[in-house]
Amino acid sequence: MNKSLVSSIQGVLKDKTILVTGGTGSFGQAFTRILTKQFVFKSLRIFSRDELKQHDMAQHVTDERVRFFIGDIRDPDRVQRAVQGVDIIIHAAAMKQVPTCEYNPFEAVKTNILGAKYLIDAAIDQQISQIMALSTDKAVNPINLYGATKLCAERIFVQGNSYAGSRPTRMSCVRYGNVLGSRGSVVPLFEAQRQDGVVTVTDRRMTRFWLSLDQAVWFVLRCLTLARGGEIFVPKIPSIKILDLVEAMAPECSIRYVGLRPGEKLHEVLVTEDESRHTFEYDDFYTVLPEYRFWQGRAREGSAGKRRSVPEGFRYCSDNNTQWLSVDELRNLLAHNGFNGGSPRPRKHRAVVACL
């Protein structure tokens, strides 16, 4: 890791109290691991509603700077209590399973939209200096409820800066693609299906943006050093083809094609043509800047390098990406993150059933 970047992050975190909502999730656990091993800070609060997950996480976290705080992001009184004395908030709490959100739409709205509002209200009231909210490629041109709620959350966090007024609270977002091995991702599913010799694929043409949990955490930490409030930060990350992932994980298995699920896209988008008018490119990320009058500045460049405008009509999509992970690179990435890749096999896949 770049020493100057680590130094910049340390400058932001020193003597600070950090709150992570949804802190017992995949991101929260990786964030906690990296923070406690790499950085000096005052304290880290893990905010989540599941006491069992907190208990299990506490068995592996012995750092005395880490505190566990039971609460629901949908409870504004508890959120107000949780943010007292906090300097930085990382907002990772969300309902994220697409089928669950489709079947329980009001619950998704309460968590992903109202929860964002309650957090912003509390942060402004308590004069928290900085919030970084986690978003997703599903929020771009959404076709499912999960994506729609995350789009609303993005807008709420960007526009929330106008409510802060002269108070110090500044809110920004990071928007990235699929995280390898996170809860509900396809990697644990394929790993389980290998035991039966058949993996399910929705569509052979599917592509996705891809990054590891550690990459996601480091990107969020880096954005803390750059944000002035109102930006949406988008990392430049590679794409994968779904059949390459099958080849990397289960080359000996047959494939059963089951068709796209409701609300599922063939390809994901991280920056749209309409956003390109106010998007700037750096060497390894993009920044979508606010278009509103309340925004008075520009992102701190620092170690990010010089920014440049993207071409008119620019679109950052998983199928037009210039970076792709090969099958061998996927195997290495899977192994590095604790998942088993399959041994290379010369034969091609065979579809068992086509249920389209």
- Which CATH number is 26's domain given? 3.40.50.720
In a domain, 189, yes or no: no
In a domain, 99, yes or no: yes
Give me the domain span that covers residue 278: 3-177+210-236+270-315
In a domain, 259, yes or no: no
Which residues in the chain land under pLDDT 70?
1, 184, 293-305, 341-356
First to last CA, the chain: 45
Query: What total number of domains does the chain contain?
Result: 1
In a domain, 200, yes or no: no
At 104, phi and psi to the nearest 5? -125, 65
Burial of 248 from C-beta contacts in 10 A (0-12 / 13-18 / 19+): buried
Tell me if residue 138 is catalytic.
yes
pTM, two decimal places: 0.92
Q: What pLDDT, on the 0 to 100 scale, is given for residue 139?
A: 96
The sign of the dihedral angle between the CA atoms of 181, 184, 185, 187 is positive
In a domain, 262, yes or no: no
* Pairing mode, strands 232-235 and 170-176: parallel
Quote the radius of gyration of the chain (alpha carbons, Å).
20
Q: Who contacts 111 (Cβ-Cβ below 8 Å, separation ≥6)?
A: 73, 74, 93, 94, 95, 149
In a domain, 296, yes or no: yes
Looking at 16, 138, 241, 265, which residue is catalytic? 138
| 158 SS3 class | helix
Quick one: tokens of 329?
A: 């690179």
